[in-house]
Amino acid sequence: MILDERGKKYLISGIEEFQSDLGIITEEQIANAKIGDEIKSHLNHSFKIMKPNVNDFIDLMERKCSILIQKDIGTVLAHTGLGSGDKVVDAGTGAGAISLNFGNIVGDKGQVYSYEIREDFAEIASRNIKNFGIKNIKIKNQDIKEGIDEKDVDLIFLDLPRPFEIFEEAYDSLKLGGWLAVYSPYIDQAEISYRITKKLGFYNIKIIETLQRNLEVRPQGVRPQTRMVGHSGYLLFARKL
Ligand SMILES: C[S@@+](CC[C@H](N)C(=O)[O-])C[C@H]1O[C@@H](n2cnc3c(N)ncnc32)[C@H](O)[C@@H]1O
């Protein structure tokens, strides 16, 4: 990743020159640069070479659909206690935002299986994962409603229409103590999900909505920003015990 003097970040491929309004950096300069180096464009502006973390990468990666936002990803990771070595099933992948976070957390000893019904989206997500340089995420261009192949799963995360159609399958695939987490943009879907998980014998069922309000620091004082993200989605959590 390359960072300009304004703090604006860009992904670089490493195989072609980089151009911006602050000048050109040649392919050769990029090839010879190391993480932490500072290089000058032909207009004498400074650029820093930095390793992107998962959030930088998601901000800049290729996508053709909406992606989960940090407040919701964070809630899933914290609520389920996901950790190193865990096995995760995720659907649909979209561009791979939460899959990348799962892969980042479970590490080399863990594994993420991410189902995506659309071939074009599965290809984009596979490219994103390869470019991030992580090897523990397998994208499956499959309809998850045709079956979950994995067993003894620590976390099943669903972000797709009518998720409750596979809750029974999800229950069978989870290990004892495993979590089902479901993201729903509409409250109706969250409610149906609640009732069905209860009927299926899940425990610790909870629906959470996370609101994030940023503060701004002005010369006159500190106050919440006038605008905030009004709504993203509801998260349902249910545990197999
Ligand atoms: C909102 S996007 C997912 C965003 C993603 N979870 C993220 O982390 O940003 C919903 C995705 O679900 C996929 N999808 C819908 N039904 C599916 C199914 N039955 N099996 C697998 N993927 C499905 C869609 O093609 C779409 O890419």
Separation between Cα atoms, residue 180 and residue 154, nearest integer Å: 9
Residue 141 has pLDDT above 80, yes or no: yes
**Residues 125 and 215 reside in one and the same domain:** yes
Separation between Cα atoms, residue 213 and residue 224, nearest integer Å: 7
Return the residue whose CA atom lies nearest to atom 13 of ligand 1: 92
Extract the tokens encoding 83.
């950790």
pLDDT reported for residue 49: 93
pLDDT mean over 165-193: 98
pLDDT reported for residue 101: 98
Cα 92 to ligand 1 centre (Å) = 3
Pocket test for ligand 1, best of 69, 75, 88, 93 (most atoms within 8 A of CB): 93
DSSP 108: T
Domain holding 179: CATH number? 3.40.50.150
**Residues 107 and 27 reside in one and the same domain:** no
Contacts of 215 (CB under 8 A, 6+ apart): 222, 223, 224, 225
Extract the tokens encoding 124.
């984009």
**Residues 136 and 226 reside in one and the same domain:** yes
**Residues 115 and 31 reside in one and the same domain:** no
Instruction: Of 20-29, 94-103, 113-122, give the lowest mean pLDDT range.
Output: 20-29
**Residues 17 and 100 reside in one and the same domain:** no
pLDDT reported for residue 13: 74
pLDDT mean over 124-134: 96
Separation between Cα atoms, residue 197 and residue 237, nearest integer Å: 9
pLDDT reported for residue 15: 72
Torsion of CA 173, 177, 183, 186, to 10 degrees: 100
Radius of gyration of the chain from Cα atoms? 21
Residue-wise pLDDT tens digits, 5-56: 999 999 887 678 899 999 999 999 988 999 999 999 999 999 999 999 999 9
Mean pLDDT of the chain: 96
Cα 116 to ligand 1 centre (Å) = 6
240: how many CB neighbours lie within 10 A of its CB?
22
Q: Using 50, 70 and 90 to split pLDDT, how confident is the model at 64?
A: very high
**Residues 90 and 43 reside in one and the same domain:** no
As for how many domains the chain has, the answer is 2
**Residues 157 and 216 reside in one and the same domain:** yes
203 touches 156 (CB < 8 A): no
Residue-wise pLDDT tens digits, 73-86: 999 999 999 999 99
Q: Is the CB of 159 under 6 A from ligand 1?
A: yes
Domain termination residue (choose one: 32, 49, 66) = 49
Separation between Cα atoms, residue 169 and residue 144, nearest integer Å: 10
Q: Is the CB of 94 under 6 A from ligand 1?
A: yes
Range of the domain at 215: 56-239
150 touches 140 (CB < 8 A): no
pLDDT reported for residue 12: 85
pLDDT mean over 172-198: 98
Among residues of the chain, what percentage have pLDDT more than 70?
100
Separation between Cα atoms, residue 114 and residue 102, nearest integer Å: 10
pLDDT mean over 111-127: 98
Domain holding 27: CATH number? 3.10.330.20
Cα 143 to ligand 1 centre (Å) = 9
Choose between 166 and 30: higher pLDDT. 166
Separation between Cα atoms, residue 172 and residue 240, nearest integer Å: 9
Cα 155 to ligand 1 centre (Å) = 17
Whether a cis peptide bond, with omega within 30° of 0, leads into 107 is no
pLDDT reported for residue 139: 98
Residue with tokens 């602050």: 22
Residue-wise pLDDT tens digits, 215-233: 999 999 999 999 999 899 9
